Chains A and B, each alone.
Chain A
């Protein structure tokens, strides 16, 4: 068993962990200072705590659970001032890129069919993939990214996302679809682009 205090002595590991947490938090908050603050608070809670962990992975799960809560709090206190249903120019251009994938009869354009991504699981172990993933997430329009990350990173149920952000469930589905497709097209273009073309 390892205590928070033991982890404190593992400086290289903590540095890596802190960097990943910062990346996670700043993507969602889009505010570097706020991200620094929530990561600091989450790490302090772990390092100061009496709780024992069976290893790094258990500690990581725990610290991310705390980090999630801190991010949720930050989003809640801010969501009153954000209008998520407003359609930005970036949203519109993402929608146009989606529409361009289809023929007028709403089936795939021959050249735009989703490609085979080979063995995508292998990408999860590659450092460079995460840099691309990160860049694609940053590339999403702000509102789409916010809804998507609440759903996928913070694992809110869809109706909770709607309630928090005061949007209708159907709008929520539209936004999530926009974000997923945007991310998919970005990954296909920048990471899986070399994959074989669908026939």
Chain B
């Protein structure tokens, strides 16, 4: 069973590499039961979207709209 600390590492790595099937299954099982780690994932996902927006995307800091 994965521990929360390990899950945070896997969640970060999932943004950088394809996780193995075993990793994905373990992650899924953990997330189904753990609210803290589920939020961690949502927060990392949001940070990625914010970075894309910051880097000249549609939303981003832009005052022309």
A173 with B13: CB separation less than 8 A: yes
A-B CB pair tally, cutoff 8 Å: 114
> How many residues on A have C-beta within 8 angstroms of the other chain's C-beta atoms?
51
Q: Which of B35, B36, B43, B53 contacts A124 (CB 8 A)?
A: B53
Size bracket, chain B contacts: 35 or more
- Taking CB atoms, residues of chain B closer than 8 Å to A114 are 36-37, 39-40, 43
A180-B44, A180-B47 as given contacts; A60 in contact with B62, CB under 8 Å: yes
A116 with B54: CB separation less than 8 A: no
- Taking CB atoms, residues of chain A closer than 8 Å to B53 are 124
B42 with A117: CB separation less than 8 A: yes
CB distance from A168 to the nearest CB of B (A): 13
A16 with B62: CB separation less than 8 A: yes
Bound Cα distance A146, B55 (Å): 14
B51 with A152: CB separation less than 8 A: yes
Bound Cα distance A105, B37 (Å): 15
- B residues adjacent to A (C-beta < 8 A): 3-6, 8-9, 12-13, 15-17, 35-37, 39-40, 42-44, 46-56, 58-64
